[in-house]
Chain A
């Protein structure tokens, strides 16, 4: 499903690489938690996987295709939920979704029905005509996810999708991710909420300073390292020092 080998990326005017010889892989239908402290290289890795930025070295294969030579084709099969609310605040939720849907070459009844279904699924149907700027934090997050689902992606990549949302919205998002995964879709997910990751993910990959620290199922790696939970394991592997 996703095979990453010796991935390397260093931003200009920086001393340390953001991603340094990172290799990992996982199979179709998996929910993978990409975890790490601030500045570990999670967002850079995600940005490379979805073709947003280019790596300086390494090889990435997604859904059986090489990323370098099939970037545009792969974009059709990948959905990315950015950390920011990547929607137009002045447009209504529906206007945003229609716009992004049309950019994915959807139109007419197909698009209308898809938007209707997703809005209903995320509890935003009655707010469809409200401008995004008038949404609460949780509503914005949910709308942000909907916009990334319009192309029905095989691989959904989410960058901290539950950051700053209330308990109800978080529960709704997590239950959606589970059901989406049950339909056969793969998910890569980053978060600082380790209990959430432990409960949701089939596999976790902890990275720090651009390097892989550990990968495996949450239960297995917790047991292997003799820690009570994922958070304790995380602190054990990445240290207690506060990161910028």
Chain B
């Protein structure tokens, strides 16, 4: 025990004098977490809180174009750009402006859209009237193929943004179309003197909506769907794994400096030294993680972000974080054992952390990765760590739901430790 404590104290003395290492362990992850939370905040917000500059080209000049324009303006999500150099904007100018990146997207309402929508509405109204036994009919013709409101995007726009804008515009068009259909039905019914009374068709159509509810019986989840809640644990795990650089550098420095040799010459001390070293870094990893959570709780509101909310299982969270820190520590020991110099180890350590985080769901959810990467993600300790921590912080799960991630992480710990032992033994037998 004395050796373990002595090694722990030695590591503490070394760490407190290594300002670069302390910055890498604490300052960099804090900056990273704040920046990533701010960057990732936008996709988590409802698009209703954003206002977009959109070029609006009205080639139609009819009722539909006017309705779309009115709807877009009333939504307050869009600032419509309708003129350029004090002249109404046309299709070709729009193409140039979008291609140049002056605007992110344009909505083009081509000529004939209003006539086509009215014609479609008349066809629908006539068919409904026929089924209801009405004799009157509205004028109509054959539908024209390929009529659509066109959306033009800046090539750099991300697919998610395109999809969101397309959905918003489609929603407006659907509403306008349904309004016109209802209006045509009303017109048809007036022709046949059918009494509709006070019946409000619009209201009835809107009687069933869509509402997000909690999957958890305590109804805690929906309020937690924000960037801080997702970003802080993910990037705190990422920061924890940067400990690999510090640990591997410490081991290599000890080996190259000769201290490792002296430690090996002390009888029976090597396992105690390893335990003392691991204990120090595991605790350091835990402290680092909780510090990041404190940043999420207290510092995020300074940047206009919501405060981090912890789950209802602080004890289980502590177990999960300990398993994760064990895995990060032994991974660092493995890298330190594997490479002969820091020049070899440090780039590998840094790049492997980035790769493990990319496939582990830190950057994007594992669910959206291709099948092959999803299979690879199973070997990423960050995936299991994130899964366990999300189970506790977002899903409010219980012990049963973190047993598997904990078991995988501890297996990884044992495996990397075993590999390190094999490498050291091989080095001794050389």
Contact = CB atoms under 8 A, between A and B. Distances in A.
A91 B13 contact: yes
A94 to B, nearest CB: 11
B428 A87 contact: no
B18 interface: yes
Nearest to A13: B430
B304 interface: no
Contacts of B268: 72
A165 B262 CA distance: 21
Interface in A75-91: 75-76, 78, 80, 82-91
A54 B425 CA distance: 10
Contact of B265 (A51, A54, A99): A51
Contacts of B258: 82-87
A75 B265 contact: yes
A135 interface: no
B2 to A, nearest CB: 6
B269 interface: yes
A235 interface: no
A86 B262 contact: yes
B10 interface: yes
B262 to A, nearest CB: 4
Given A52-B265, A86-B262, A88-B259, A105 B2 contact: yes
Contacts, number: 82
A95 interface: yes
Given A12-B430, A89-B257, A105-B2, A100 B13 contact: no
Interface string A213-235: 00000000000000000000000
B266 A100 contact: yes
Chain A: interface size category? 20 to 34
Contact of B262 (A73, A100, A102): A100
A105 B272 CA distance: 12
Residue of B261, B265, B429 with most chain A CB atoms under a 10 A cut-off = B265
Nearest to A79: B265
A88 B15 CA distance: 12
Contacts of B17: 90
Contacts of B430: 11-12, 53
A176 interface: no
A102 B265 contact: no
Interface string B264-301: 11111100110000000000000000000000000000
Contact of B3 (A76, A86, A90, A102): A102
Interface string A141-155: 000000110000000
A34 interface: no
A75 B270 CA distance: 12
A75 B266 contact: yes
Nearest to B17: A90
Interface residues of B, number: 29
Interface string B230-253: 000000000000000000000000
A54 B428 CA distance: 7
A73 to B, nearest CB: 7
B263 interface: yes
A85 B428 CA distance: 20
A148 B87 CA distance: 89
A108 to B, nearest CB: 10
A40 interface: no
B131 to A, nearest CB: 88
B14 interface: yes
A12 B267 CA distance: 26
Nearest to A144: B258
A85 B7 CA distance: 19
Nearest to B428: A53
B115 interface: no
Residue of B9, B254, B259, B266 with most chain A CB atoms under a 10 A cut-off = B259
Interface string B392-430: 000000000000000000000000000000000000111
Contacts of B428: 52-54
B267 A102 contact: no
B226 to A, nearest CB: 42
A95 B13 contact: yes
B23 interface: no
Residue of B6, B261, B262 with most chain A CB atoms under a 10 A cut-off = B262
A102 B429 contact: no
B261 A102 contact: no
Given A88-B10, A90-B13, A95-B10, A103 B266 contact: yes
A67 interface: no
Contacts of B265: 50-52, 75, 78, 80
Given A52-B428, A80-B265, 14 more contacts: A52-B265, A53-B428, A53-B430, A78-B265, A85-B257, A87-B259, A88-B14, A88-B259, A98-B6, A99-B9, A99-B10, A100-B262, A103-B263, A105-B3
7 contacts: A54-B428, A54-B429, A80-B265, A86-B257, A86-B258, A91-B13, A147-B262
Interface of A: 11-12, 50-54, 72-73, 75-76, 78, 80, 82-91, 95, 98-100, 102-105, 107, 147-148
Interface of B: 2-3, 5-7, 9-10, 13-14, 17-18, 254, 257-259, 261-269, 272-273, 428-430
